[in-house]
Every structure is written in structure tokens, then in C-alpha cells.
Amino acid sequence: MGSADSKLNFRKAVIQLTTKTQPVEATDDAFWDQFWADTATSVQDVFALVPAAEIRAVREESPSNLATLCYKAVEKLVQGAESGCHSEKERQIVLNCSRLLTRVLPYIFEDPDWRGFFWSTVPGAGRGGGEEDDENARPLAESLLLAIADLLFCPDFTVQSHRRSAVDSAEDVHSLDSCEYIWEAGVGFAHSPQPNYVHDLNRMELLKLLLTCFSEAMYLPPAPESGSSNPWVQFFCSTENRHALPLFTSLLNTVCAYDPVGYGIPYNHLLFSDYREPLVEEAAQVLIVTLDHDSATSTSPTVDGTTTGTAMDDADPPGPENLFVNYLSRIHREEDFQFILKGIARLLSNPLLQTYLPNSTKKIQFHQELLVLFWKLCDFNKKFLFFVLKSSDVLDILVPILYFLNDARADQSRVGLMHIGVFILLLLSGERNFGVRLNKPYSVRVPMDIPVFTGTHADLLIVVFHKIITSGHQRLQPLFDCLLTIVVNVSPYLKSLSMVTANKLLHLLEAFSTTWFLYSAAQNHHLVFFLLEVFNNIIQYQFDGNSNLVYAIIRKRSAFHQLANLPTDPPTIHKALQRRRRTPEPLSRTGSQEGASMEGSRPAAPAEPGTLKTSLVATPGIDKLTEKSQVSEDGTLRSLEPEPQQSSADGSPAEGEPSQAWREQRRLSSTSASLQWSPTSEWVLSWKSKLPLQTIMRLLQVLVPQVEKICIDKGLTDESEILRFLQHGTLVGLLPVPHPILIRKYQANSGTAMWFRTYMWGVIYLRNVDPPVWYDTDVKLFEIQRV
């Protein structure tokens, strides 16, 4: 039968279904088989031939027929899994049912009355004979998920058969050990199967259906209480699924082994179409959804070698155990870590390669999924985090992240990408090793729209952060605290900042310490505290190599004197805010001596008008995101418990007001902010007295007269002579006793768990356009907006 006939027959069946007012018996195979037995329709055909309006009409007007359609389609998948799909016809039926369910499921999820349908059992409908009756006790959802799992390890359909001859009876699906059929070499599996185009396509269809099953989460509004129990994910990742381990391994290895370059030969992808990429993308999306697990509230152990109940224990940990999270947390072999890290770094760097030889490699689009996966790895497996930081390989993750942050800073549709990049850097910055690694010279010249500098990876990080703060869009304001916290965390370890970087830091101080900025929102002074902490850490712990920064502090000393003499009388406060209304520009670029951008770089562009984006929930304030720890003499961390109830007037940067109020203040629209909150003299005095200026004032007191003397004696206007003097100078014994180093470490909390859930599903929603699985359905987890 030609494909045109086949489509026509399928369309006829759909019309019959939507026009029948009477229930069709489940036993009427002649009717139901039209949907899958004789047709050869692609998933795109199914989406075109089954319009949304008709699915909704059947749902409202003949619900029993929609129920039977779903039930029969699941039954066919279960039969295919049981038989092992040996004939072409059986495989076609499985694929057709899979496509049909992918089309229909979102419409079941969007109606709250239908949500329990898949979790109910279907009383012996269409089941002939008694032997299978005990099977009927399984809810439809469970039967469906187990069938998908079996079908993903089906010889000659989704995996290579191990049988040598046709005479051999086919492998028995029940006794088959799927661990021998893992899709790709890597973690826990050494054998790399022959690539097979057809198997990849079949896996993709089934993974798309699996992802659609999991997507029920999109139809529930974001609520921190909702926990992370997606019943579909919970069941699929439980011991009920005998393929959990091989499937987890297959997904992880498929993603991490993928090399989009075309086997290392530039331009190779133009000769061979790469059918692997869609599978890799699908695998990455399924993987991050199965790992959506709120580690803050969960009872499952984290494996960092310190907790009592590690996942290696035989004792069942309390609570529902997600095996995918469990396996991820238990990976521990160095070569496995190396394989994962190299794979993720290779894929994240892929868009950067484009800039050397345009079009030489295939440009992948799933970097957001990769960043979520990297986050999950670091969050659930502390050994992996320590491995990443053990060598300078972490820089292969850092550079792409900074590239994405810089590239997306003007684009409103990529706010989520900005957040996850910053969250990852915040997590890494809580570890001393990260700061140490940043001292490695930066020589890879990825064209980026930033000033040219010569220096280390620390310089790159600070220059990019400066660019985000001074020329990103307004919606990034809530991230400023995070950006500066990262700089504070690494500052005690930075051996030598370049002159470009030193100037950028002082430019930020000047911008953040203007009176209108300090007085226009309740939290703005925190940014000044963070910057002073950075300067103090470097002066106390890394004075020797940082003559550039010391010189910049001396040159811009008026900024520190202004802070020390900040006016606190009501008339001056009022005047500062008046001035603010006339010039609403948040941070000027003037005075920062913007050098020319790197050669070959394109300016960061705003989103094209009309670009779709999904809304995100608010992220917790920095005080909720992090926990303060003190670094002891021997380098170990001691957690500082938050002091009992502090008044909100306190100026210490870590304590803030509730995040809702905070978001409002941060919008910096002084007109609306001043209605809710206005600065008072007492408020300014309360934090002004805590500004940590002693170290810097002492430094200026000692060095400024000496520098002025050099200038007068030698008639100098030449910087190099002064820098030479500062390089050899010492402040030993002249500065106050060094303060203990404070680190603000990321801590998991349900607020960020909810943020990750909305971000991840938003990415998946927007990236699945062919077919558009969720478009135009009534999702509740986020709103779809146009830029």
C-alpha cells in the first residue's frame, strides 16, 4: 500500500473516531487496527493527521473511545515487548502506537479529570483468557513504562542481535540480560556496538514517548510543596524496571561518547548526515528528567565519603529510591569520571570551535541540557565534583560556560541559560581548588565580545562578569549577588590579576558606590560589601603578585574615601534619589575604559522580537542559596551557623530580606520601589559603620605618600616605575591582623530544585519542535512568552 493511501486510511480512522457518538467495543479489532496495523505513517504524519481540536473533542464528547484507544495502543506495545518484535509488521505496529500515544498523552495530562486515567487498572478489557488476568492488576501507566523499557533492549529492533544464525531461535526476551546490550561503550561497559541507523531511529521514537510520559510534570503549577515525586519517573526509576541500570548507562554513555565533529575530520559532517545527534539530544533530555530529584528534601544519601549511609549500603535507604540518582551518585572509577568529564567538555566546547573554522564542525544545540546534566553530576556525586577540580580539566568546562554567559547577556530569551551557568560557577567556587585552578594562564583565544587582556582564567572570569553587569539586560540584576559571591569565594587564591581586570573591579566599585545606587534599593549596599571583601582578601592573602590591583586601588582611592564619608542626613539622601530619577541608566560604561573587543567576535545580540521563551520561578536570594563557612588554618571549612534573628537593617551581605521583597527592590524602578521602601538615616548608618574599610585605608595611608614621593622625585608620569616599586614593596606588619577567609558555599534547597524543574521542562518544551509535542497544550508549570 502506498504511503498516500496509508495516510488516507489513517485519516479516515481518525475521522471515524471523532464522529462516533457511541462507544466502540475494545474487542472491535477491525476498527482499532486501522490506527496501527496497516499504516506506515511517520511521527510528523501522525501530528498532522490527528489535530489537537479533534483529540479534545473526543476527550469531551466520547471519553470512553479515547480511553479505549489509549488502552489498545498500550496493549499493542505490551504485546510487542512480550513477543520481541520479530516481524517487520510487529515493529511497525509498535512504532505507530508509540507515535499515537506521543500525540495523545499531552491532551490527557492537560485535563485534571483525566490525570488518574493511566494510574487506574482497566478491567479485563479485550483480554481473552484467564491466564493473563493477574496482569490486569497493573495500572496502565506501569504496563506502558515497562513495555517501553523492554522495547529499548529488543534485539534487531533497538539493539544488535547477538545470535549468529537465522536458525537459532530468537533471543528470549524474558531471559535476555540487557546489561550485555548497553548502547555505547563508556561507564561500566567496554564494548562499542556497530552504529545502526535504524536502531537509533527506533530508540529515538521510544525515548520521545518516554519523555512524553514524564511530561505530566508540565501540567502542574510550580509549587515548592509538590516535592519531586513525578509518579511516572518514580516508577520507571524503581526496582520494578529490570532495565534501569543498563538504560541509565546507555543514556549516559550515548551522550558522553558523542563526537559531533564527524570523527575528527573538519567539514566531515557535510558529507555524512549525522543521525546520532537527535538520539543524543533525546537521551540527554530523558536523563535530566529522570534525575529531577530534590536533594534538599530527599532522604537518599549523598556519597561524598562522609555520610553514614552511603548508596553502597545494602540496607534500603528510606523513601522512594530513584535508581538513576542512586547509580549516578555511585559512579566512582577515575576512568569513568574522565570519560564523562571529557565528553561533556567536548560537547560544551563545540559551539566555540565554530568560531575558528566556521561550519567546520556540526554545531550542537543541546548545551542547556548538558549544563543541567553537569550540575546534577556535581550535586549528586561529590567524588565527581572533587575529580573535576583535581586538575585543570575544570577549565574546559569553565571557558564554554563563560562563553555562553557572555554571548547570552543581552538576550532576554536566554535568562535561564545565564542562571544555570552562574549556579554551576557558584557551586564550583565553594571549593578551594577552583580558585587555585583559575591561576592558569589563559591562552586559548576564543573570539569573545570582551576587551583584550593578557592574563589568567581568573582575569577571563572577572572581565566577563564585568561585561554582564555593565552591559547585560535588566532582568539579570538578581544575579549580581551571585556573580560577586563567586569572585569573593575565589579571591583569596588569585595570585596575579591583570591591569585590565583590576580596572574592571574598581569600575564596579565606583558604579555600585554612587549614592543614588546605594540608596535606591534595600539590598544594593551588599554589592559594595562583596567588592570590599574581594579587595581585602587579595591584599591580605595575595599582596605579593597583585601590584596591578594595588596600583588601581591607589589611583581610585577617592572611591574609598567617599564610602568612608558617605552622607547619612535625610536631605542628601533625598537629593541622591532625585538625581536618580533624571538618569535612570543603571550602570554606565563610562570610566571603565572599554578596550577594543577581541578580533573576530560578534557583539552579544538581544533576542529576535517574537522569540518564544518560558517563564521561570524566582530564585532564592544569596543568603538562601549559600551557607557561610570559615577556612581554618589547615584549609578545612567550618560552617558558620547563621546568627540568631538579625534585624534586616544589618549590613552584612549574607543576610537579606525575604526573596519576594528583594525581587521588587532589585527592579530598581525607583518610583515603584520608593512607594514600598525608602532609605532612612538610621538604615544608612546601620551598615555604613560595618563597611570593612580598615585594611584598605591602612594600605593607602602607608603607600600613597611613598608613591607621591616617587612621582615628585623623578617627575614621573610613568606607571612602570610605580608598579616596579609596588611589586617589591611589602606591607608585612603594617596591616591589621588578617581576617579569616569566608566562603559562601552553595547549599541545596527546595527553591533551587523548583527553579531547575521549571527551567529544564521549559528547555525541553521549546526544543521539541519537530514534532511539536507540547505546543498549544495547556501547560501550567510555566508560561510561554514572546520576547
For the chain, the maximum distance between any two Cα atoms, rounded to a whole number of angstroms, is 106
Higher pLDDT, 309 or 721: 721
Residue 753 has a pLDDT of 85
Least confident of 59-63, 287-291, 499-503: 59-63
pLDDT band at 67 (very low <50, low <70, confident <90, very high): very high
Residue 316 has a pLDDT of 42
> Which of 98, 102, 75, 109 has the alpha carbon at shortest distance from 158?
98
Angle, to 10 degrees, between the axis of helix 334-353 and the axis of helix 367-380? Answer: 150
Q: What are phi and psi for residue 734, nearest 5 degrees?
A: -100, -25
Whether 368 shows a pLDDT value over 90: the answer reads yes
Cα angle vertex 631, ends 630, 633, to 5°? Answer: 130
> Which of 543, 537, 467 has the alpha carbon at shortest distance from 501?
467
Mean local confidence (pLDDT), 271-285: 82
Buried b (16+ CB within 10 A) or exposed e, 569-590: eeeebeebbeebeeeeeebeee
Whether 299 shows a pLDDT value over 60: the answer reads no
Whether 314 shows a pLDDT value over 70: the answer reads no
The count of other CB atoms within 10 Å of the CB of residue 680 is: 14
pLDDT band at 708 (very low <50, low <70, confident <90, very high): confident
Mean local confidence (pLDDT), 116-129: 66
What is the per-residue pLDDT across 546-596, written as a single tens digit (0 to 9) for each? 999 999 999 999 999 999 999 999 888 888 888 766 554 555 544 445 567
Q: Burial-class residue 332 by CB neighbours within 10 Å (0-12, 13-18, 19+).
A: middle
The fraction of the chain above a pLDDT of 70, given in percent, is 82
> Which of 335, 320, 488, 471 has the alpha carbon at shortest distance from 406?
471
> Which of 97, 67, 105 has the alpha carbon at shortest distance from 79?
97
738 preceded by a cis bond (ω within 30 of 0) = no
C-beta of residue 548 within 8 angstroms of C-beta of residue 499 = yes
Residue 619 has a pLDDT of 85
DSSP 8-state class, residue 296: T
Element (DSSP H or E) covering residue 784: strand 784-786
Least confident of 4-13, 146-155, 307-316: 307-316
The count of other CB atoms within 10 Å of the CB of residue 495 is: 16
Higher pLDDT, 583 or 246: 246
Return d(Cα 687, Cα 675) in angstroms, integer. Answer: 22
Whether 205 shows a pLDDT value over 80: the answer reads yes
Residue 268 has a pLDDT of 54
Residues 6+ apart with CB under 8 A from 392: 437, 440
What is the per-residue pLDDT across 371-395, written as a single tens digit (0 to 9) for each? 999 999 999 999 999 999 998 999 9
Q: What are phi and psi for residue 597, nearest 5 degrees?
A: -75, 165
Place of cell 579569616: 740
Residue 469 has a pLDDT of 94
C-beta of residue 338 within 8 angstroms of C-beta of residue 331 = no
What is the per-residue pLDDT across 636-685, written as a single tens digit (0 to 9) for each? 878 776 544 433 333 333 333 333 333 433 444 334 444 577 889 999 99
Return d(Cα 37, Cα 58) in angstroms, integer. Answer: 21
Whether 197 shows a pLDDT value over 80: the answer reads yes
Whether 286 shows a pLDDT value over 90: the answer reads yes
Least confident of 21-25, 539-543, 756-760: 21-25
In sign, the C-alpha dihedral spanning 777, 780, 786, 787 is negative
Higher pLDDT, 382 or 7: 382
Place of cell 546601620: 686
Whether 98 shows a pLDDT value over 80: the answer reads yes
Residue 29 has a pLDDT of 86
Residue 702 has a pLDDT of 92
Place of cell 530468537: 170
Lateral strand order in the sheet of 741-746: 637-639, 626-631, 741-746
Whether 102 shows a pLDDT value over 70: the answer reads yes
pLDDT averaged over every residue in the chain: 83
Residue 505 has a pLDDT of 97
Three-class SS string for 231-274?
A: HHHHHHCCCCCCCHHHHHHHHHHHHHHCCCCCCCCCCHHHCCCC
Residue 625 has a pLDDT of 87
Return d(Cα 667, Cα 676) in angstroms, integer. Answer: 12
Residue 398 has a pLDDT of 97
Whether 354 shows a pLDDT value over 70: the answer reads no
Whether 33 shows a pLDDT value over 90: the answer reads no
pLDDT band at 355 (very low <50, low <70, confident <90, very high): low
Whether 716 shows a pLDDT value over 90: the answer reads no
Residue 245 has a pLDDT of 93
The count of other CB atoms within 10 Å of the CB of residue 390 is: 13
Whether 173 shows a pLDDT value over 90: the answer reads no
DSSP 8-state class, residue 666: H
C-beta of residue 303 within 8 angstroms of C-beta of residue 382 = yes
Residue 223 has a pLDDT of 79
What is the per-residue pLDDT across 501-558, written as a single tens digit (0 to 9) for each? 999 999 999 999 999 899 988 899 999 999 999 999 999 999 999 999 999 999 999 9
What is the per-residue pLDDT across 210-245, written as a single tens digit (0 to 9) for each? 999 999 999 998 876 655 589 999 999 999 999 999
C-beta of residue 736 within 8 angstroms of C-beta of residue 695 = yes
Residue 342 has a pLDDT of 95
Query: What cell numbers appear for 180 in the block?
Result: 550485555
Return d(Cα 86, Cα 166) in angstroms, integer. Answer: 12
Return d(Cα 342, Cα 396) in angstroms, integer. Answer: 9
Mean local confidence (pLDDT), 401-407: 94
Return d(Cα 751, Cα 54) in angstroms, integer. Answer: 39
Cα angle vertex 429, ends 423, 432, to 5°? Answer: 160
Residue 131 has a pLDDT of 45
Q: How many residues are present in the chain?
A: 787
The fraction of the chain above a pLDDT of 90, given in percent, is 50
Residues 6+ apart with CB under 8 A from 33: none
Whether 300 shows a pLDDT value over 80: the answer reads no
